[in-house]
Structure 1
Amino acid sequence: MAWLRLLATILALLATAGVAHSFEFHEDTVDAIQLGFRNGSLTSAALVRFYLDQIRRLKPLLHAVIEVNPDALRQAKRADAERRRGTATGPLHGVPVLLKDNIATRDALNTTAGSLALLGSVVKRDAGVAARLRRAGAVVLGKASLSEWANFRNVRNGWSARGGQTRNPYVLSSDPCGSSSGSGVAAAANMAAVTLGTETDGSILCPSSFNSVVGIKPTLGLTSRAGVVPITTRQDSVGPMCRTVSDAVHVLDAIVGYDKLDAAATRAASKYIPYGGYLQFLKKDGLRGKRIGVPNVLFQQGLGEKQMRVYEQQLGRMRLLSYFKSP
């Protein structure tokens, strides 16, 4: 029976070898995507095709994407060619990104803030954050839906005349929350590797929470608002909405910095950007020695038994990590 054991071992090795060169598209992270690019199991073009298919299939149900970029596949193929030449530009090179539909791009894409009044508004210049993403090699996949005029019109969360009603992918009848609902839903439902949202008052943080993704609202001026449909210069901010913390930090590193078209705010904030970026702070013992205030009364309002159990588990994990010391 030794030959049977040998055959089983060979088959297991062959199966393992096949897995090593395959790529799992669902729930892929930026780091996993870059690994796939390096080991030859993935191309930017294949990734764009996957996301375009996801958008096509899920749009009638979720209404998270308002428009796709007709140039996305060409951008992806160019990124693949650059990678073959050894001229890739960083962790977002060849990575598809969806932008909220109040962030301008110079592609053949409308920038409408969800309003029919701006349909046909195709601008000639990228917003500051879009330009930075492009310099980082990211592929502009399209525009995510939003609450019309970023909820300045005071509509139902996730609704716009142009995009319809965005729906929470976990519970269709649940509130998708905030004006960046399309970005949050798209990230949660694997319609893009990463997305961008904007916040004036809760429009990144709320849809990130309600759709179980990670959102970062940067300090005012850390990211440029140039080319973004405004509400107020005192509060508007552009930030990442992604499936993981590390993905969000990769995007944050790409979009922060000075922009002469939003000079006053970005000049003041840029001096606080750490040398080497934010990714350096993602480490296992990052919470060690930290004191974190928890407003229990606020957080526990409306939580059911299951939610409370998860909430307490996560608080306990944070307490343990505050004492954790990596070897």
Structure 2
Amino acid sequence: MRHIIVTLAAALLMTAFSTAAADAATLVPAGNRNAEQPGVPGASARRTKASNSSYERKYQKVIDLLSSDKQLIGKIKSTAGRYGIDPIHMIGAIVGEHTYNVDAYDRLQSYYVKAASYAGSSFRFGYEDETIAQFIAKPEFANCSSNSDAYRLWSCRENVWEKSFRGRKVGGKSYPDNRFSAVFFQPFYAGQTFGLGQMNPLTALMLTDMVSKTSGYEKLDENDAAAVYKAIMDPDRSLAFMAASIRKSIDDYKSIANMDISDNPGLTSTLYNVGGSTQRAGALAARNRARAAAGEGPAWPEENYYGWLVNDRIEDLKKLL
């Protein structure tokens, strides 16, 4: 009888270990899946040409600035620690943004000056004569209000925009065929991002709960656009939002796609660049379910041009830390 009990206990223990192994996320290998760099979008090329620069010069400039700012590197390390991520992911995102999307300022500390200038500005989030508060009060958004978490709340509102308003005429008003963030959250010009991490205001609003809980900063309010811009321009707070964005991407791919991307800064940088980690992880999970049903192995997530550079230059980036 004792032998049976011991054998049964061993069997149950093995089953538990098997279940845990099955539930464990697959670690995505380091490095690039693409042998050559994917194509760089035309908009990035035009911005770089207009600045009389090149990607290599911009890359080297941000590397030089980071290597000379030990205080900033220290802040990156401590912020990454609070969010449970390797600081190389934050370095990758900063380098990618300042290589392809903007040119690094001569002094990264000048972001503080910009932040102060926005603090006293009077502008709002909205489209034409409609404020964001008026827009999200429409009945189409009623079901979103049940979401207490800021990320789910704004993701719901973004989905409603895509399904019910984007490129449509609603209530006699025509809305542009463009992203929610570009239409309602960029009062100066479309495609606008700010700060050390080039954060989009809508993304900051989505992450405000996580940042408030982890870093202790006050929560952002869509009705106070100046405060949102100040938060994403201030280097210290900008780092918190960057870390939160990367943490969210890692968590999404682990919980939704069963993929652990925490050892691949090129992938986290790609997601920082393109956004939508929840939807992209869901699409990868669906693709891999179909592949499994067909007897095929899983597809790996892949880096874009921006993440490819990060993985390709990873030894340079590690030296900064």
**TM-score when scaled to structure 2?**
0.26
Relative CO higher for 1 or 2, CA cutoff 8 Å, sep ≥ 6? 2
More helix by share: 2
More strand by share: 1
Larger-Rg structure = 2
